[in-house]
Amino acid sequence: MPDRFKAKVYKTVVRSVALYGTECWPATPKQEQTMHAMEMRMLRWILGTSRLDHVMNVDIRKRMGAAPITDKMREARLRWYGHAVRSDENSVARTAMRLSPEGRGRPKMRWLDRIKEDMKTINATPVDALD
Residue 107: the pLDDT is 75
Residue 57: the pLDDT is 93
Residue closest to 14 by CA, chosen among 92, 66, 59, 74: 66
Low-confidence stretches of the chain (pLDDT beneath 50): none
Residue 42: the pLDDT is 92
CB 19 within 8 A of CB 76: yes
> What spatial distance separates the first Cα and last Cα of the chain, rounded to whole Å?
41
Which SS3 state, helix, strand or coil, does residue 67 take? coil
**2-7: Cβ within 8 A, 24+ apart:** 3/46, 3/47, 3/63, 3/64, 4/65, 6/46, 6/47, 6/64, 7/46, 7/64, 7/65, 7/66
Domain that holds residue 46: 3-130
Residue 98: the pLDDT is 60
Count of domains for the chain: 1
